[in-house]
Structure 1
């Protein structure tokens, strides 16, 4: 089962397995530099005057239940393979526990971003707008259409508790717009590891390649050995038009690329921001991958076309037929590869492993810690008599540990059990196809009951909850990343005002197009790396200096105002 999802930046469609959705883990902070703002963020309201249904004693780790029932409108993105039904246990159970009836406005995933924008711009959006990633809020801030929620987080004790316990305070500060406020609340992750990295044939790397590579240089050495043993192979592949591989590789070279390119601006080491695509580090990364392609070590088709998993030369098919031995993917991709290998090599005759992103000249580093999707609120919520109760409900459903477990697994002792050590087991009559759990169960807790839905379940997670539905090999992957890789520091924020945001968009779009085109041309050998200076000159002729000056001006202003 596959679908197209939008990566953290809300810009690049990404095709991933449902079992491997998101994290789609890319440095969310890099997009914050293009945050827009309003002049004053609106006037803060007295929530105590809008407290109908609110609990007087609501506190962290407590169950929220409205003292009076109320309805809450919600924007619901519907995937074609998971149609929403009113009969889902999800809706009835949430209402039973909280006294809150969710009233959904449904938009199709195929054009969810456009539909969401139209609803907000027309003033027709529901009160709660989920599946929001950092940066998604930018275009709505200046109009006053969404709430500066930072004014009200004092009423959200679960959010405050886990921001502190998981040491996420600095990351939250980076959500601030130029007015010093933030307009969305993200999903919090106790541990953050790259979702996309390399999936390898562990057995082949150990017997032929000399072991599991820890760096890109070691990866190159292993690929050369594998190519010699399997001469018809092109052992390294991406499958995501180079966007995935360049994303996780770039950090090891001290650059940003692919899905993680963001605004193109990154810390130069002094607190200022430089344009990564003209840096020596970016050039070194391009030269490295050019060398791999030149030596026949890369499946170049996988750099120019997305892998839809349908066969006919897909990366999955090539992996199964021992033409590719390392490819970009998530834990879901690893499972897809294993299923395909069962049909060709045979179960028990191979090992598939998700490895930590290889290190490089910049060290054993990976992307910065990352947020998951969260939500923003229609600013009209401040006119609701249930405003405070709504804040409490959202604080519970997004950040309370028991609520998070409920959203993933359903009802304790009905759909699943939990032992004294906290291990969760899905009862045998139930299954979760999205993660290949209990495939013989009669009832799918996602499709039939609404649990593990992507609107709510794929957000805040403790490490224990993340591990509860993933495979043991993915847990090993988490351990390996945490033990051997250091997350790169997020880039310093440089939020732009409304006029600057328009200027930045006009400047950055043609520049970014030139970067994308020529990065791939250099790597594929269609343009000689000796023309690097000419490439830089082309960017400068498109206004690169003005763009850099604009962003650094915003950076200086933000630093001065928030120092």
Structure 2
């Protein structure tokens, strides 16, 4: 396979206001094609080689003429890609599209991706993009304004409307009123990361599953009393996961979800989350847990790989941790570790809804997952329209999403009349502990369920098809007991503002991250909170807040 900066073929032989939202993007597409409203003229008649005349939502895509599409591919260290993966050969067979890969390592994928884009060397399709990551490439013209062309993506439009995501799509707009990436769409808004607990211990020792952080504290105290050598709560993701899903209970944003640091102050303006009362209360809460020996402090500074004195999974197995940050995959990892110590059938692991707090029983909005950007040079391709159709099918068609997750129906899996999917007995999916021991792993050996495409767009049914019954229970618990928090109000910045924002936000965020952990770990007294705020103010905090609020007000005026 190619290294981080080589582009070579896989094989040498292989080449809110829904109505308004859709109408507006369609109008933008038409304007772009005619050269109006700043859009570059695109002659779709001349750039429709390979495109289907009758392409529509929920229909198969097959290019009328074969073409090769260059794709940026992130290599996971534990999932080595091979040129014999059935994923590639089957996509080519069904669609007449051959992938040409530029491979980059997972360890520094974001940096390598950004360097390729900045140098003008990026392939056509840039997957694994999360909302907000596109902003820095807008002013350079390196990426395509996707909103100009979604008229030609019927699957995307259909599921934006059916899943009521139009207002969130509008929030992707940049300062010019266009959006430059398309996210993966999730039918249900359920946080990916939350707490994974020893359900049996919480029920027998602590009296049940905590619904709030106050109840969680009470439970941890009881578990600590029963298991005195334990520090029952852990993170394992350098505190970024725990603070992310916990922060919403205090009306704040932290960890992975910090973003630009701005939250609605309740009056329509934005304020910097890290100086709010809610953020301080969150910090004080976790400081109290550390002071009482209820948190494994190593897990707040180390990644979940054992570098901090043993992985969280090992501590779960040793019964020194009983609740930790994680996803459905983490729950499987913990269960496998417990099998070797406690023994199968002697425990129960459960992923629970993030606890609530003073701000209510709220969770982060999670209707978007990773999506993609397109190199702006695609506008010059004779296959321009066909590429749009192919990506619309690949990312948003239910049939394509099922194919990418499970492989070939009738070969790797079967599907019952009620929609239930069963992996055939000769195949396994280790990542989700399905058919363990079967000879062929559909992910490692065949490329299905790969990390580049599989986790993007999902209906609820598809999400439930490969997860354990406990995860279905988790979805139900979140949907029935928690309310997704309103997305942060959009405040898109123009080119000059982006540069100014970067200069201000980076040192501010560094100060926040450093001192948040110091306060929680007890390395800095919470009595120095005002001094901490003064340090941020000396770094230009008010200037940054005014900059973002100015962009917010302008966006509201221009899009009212």
TM-score by length of 1: 0.91
Asked whether the 8 Å contact 2:74–2:106 carries over to 1, the reply is yes
- Of structures 1 and 2, the one scoring higher in RCO (CA 8 A, sep 6+) is 1
More displaced 10-residue stretch of structure 1: 417-426 or 73-82: 73-82
Offset at residue 121 of structure 1 (A): 2.2
Aligned residue in 2 for 1:382: 379
Matches of 1:341 and 1:84 in 2, distance apart? Answer: 30
Number of equivalenced pairs: 525
Taking the aligned partners of 1:305 and 1:51, their CA distance within structure 2 comes to 51
| 1:216 and 2:213 aligned | yes
Q: Which runs of 4+ in 1 moved over 6 A?
A: none
Which of 145, 163, 171 is the matching residue for 2:142?
145
Following superposition of structure 1 onto structure 2, how do residues 288-327 of structure 1 map, counting pairs within 5 Å? Answer: 288-309=285-306, 312-327=309-324
- Deviation for aligned residue 1:395: 0.6
Partner of 2:472: 475
| CA distance, structure 1, for counterparts of residue 382 and residue 117 of structure 2 | 21
Q: Could you tell me which of 166, 184, 188 is aligned with 1:169?
A: 166
| Partner-residue secondary structure (3-state), 1:408 | helix
User: 5+ unaligned residues in a row in structure 2: which ranges?
Assistant: 1-35
Match of 1:411 among 405, 408, 414: 408
Offset of residue 312 of structure 1: 4.3
Cα distance in 2, alignment partners of residues 252 and 313 from structure 1: 29
Q: Does 1:200 align with 2:210?
A: no
Aligned partners of 2:312, 2:85: CA distance in 1, in Å?
36
In 2 relative to 1, CA 446–62 (structure 1 residues): closer, same or farther, beyond 3 Å? same
**1:534: Cα distance to partner?**
1.3
* 1:515 lines up with 2:493 in the alignment: no
CA-CA distance at 1:365 after TM superposition: 0.4
Cα distance in 2, alignment partners of residues 41 and 295 from structure 1? 60
Counterpart pick for 1:88 among 81, 85, 88: 85
Please say which of residues 510-519 and 82-91 is displaced more in the overlay. Answer: 82-91
Preserved CA contact (<8 Å) 2:194 2:327: yes
Q: How does 1:213-292 map to 2 (within 5 A)?
A: 213-292=210-289
Paired with 1:81 and 1:283, the residues of 2 have a C-alpha distance of 39
Contact 2:332 2:433 in 1 (8 A): no
Instruction: Give me the whole-angstrom Cα distance separating, in 1, the residues matched to 2:309 and 2:277.
Output: 38
Q: Which moved more, 1:228-237 or 1:157-166?
A: 228-237
SS of the residue corresponding to residue 340 of structure 2 reads: helix
> Is 1:333 matched with 2:330?
yes
- Return 156-165 or 506-515, whichever deviates more: 506-515
Report how far residue 174 of structure 1 moved. 0.7
Q: Check 1:40–1:548 CA distance in 2 against 1; reply closer, same or farther (3 A cut).
A: farther
Asked if residue 188 in structure 1 is aligned to residue 185 in structure 2, the reply is yes
Q: How does 1:11-30 map to 2 (within 5 A)?
A: none
Counterpart Cα distance in 2 of 1:311 and 1:423: 41
Q: Does the CA-based 8 Å contact 2:236-2:304 persist in structure 1?
A: yes
Q: Which range moves more in the overlay, 293-302 or 458-467?
A: 293-302
Q: For the residues of structure 2 that align with 1:525 and 1:507, how far apart are their CA atoms?
A: 27
Residue 505 of structure 1, CA deviation: 1.1
Matches within 5 A, 1:119-138: 119-138=116-135
Aligned mates of 1:268, 1:71 — CA distance in 2: 49
Deviation digits for residues 463-485 of structure 1 (CA, Å, limit 9, x no counterpart): 11111111111111111001100
For residues 233 and 431 of structure 1, the distance between their equivalents in structure 2, rounded to whole angstroms, comes to 35
1:393 equivalent in structure 2:
390
> Could you say what the CA RMSD is over the residues aligned between the two structures, in angstroms?
1.6
Asked if the contact 2:181–2:373 (Cα under 8 Å) also holds between the matched residues in 1, the reply is yes
The CA deviation at 1:114 is: 2.5
Residues 509-540 of structure 1 show CA distances to partners (whole Å, capped at 9, x for unaligned) of 11111111111111122222111111111111
Q: Which runs of 5 or more residues in structure 1 are unaligned? A: 1-38
Deviations 1:528-557 (A, max 9, x none): 211111111111111101010011011111
Measured against aligned partners, the alpha-carbon deviations of 1:215-237 in whole angstroms (never above 9, x if no partner) come to 01111111111112122221111
Within the alignment, does 1:427 sit opposite 2:431 as a pair? Answer: no
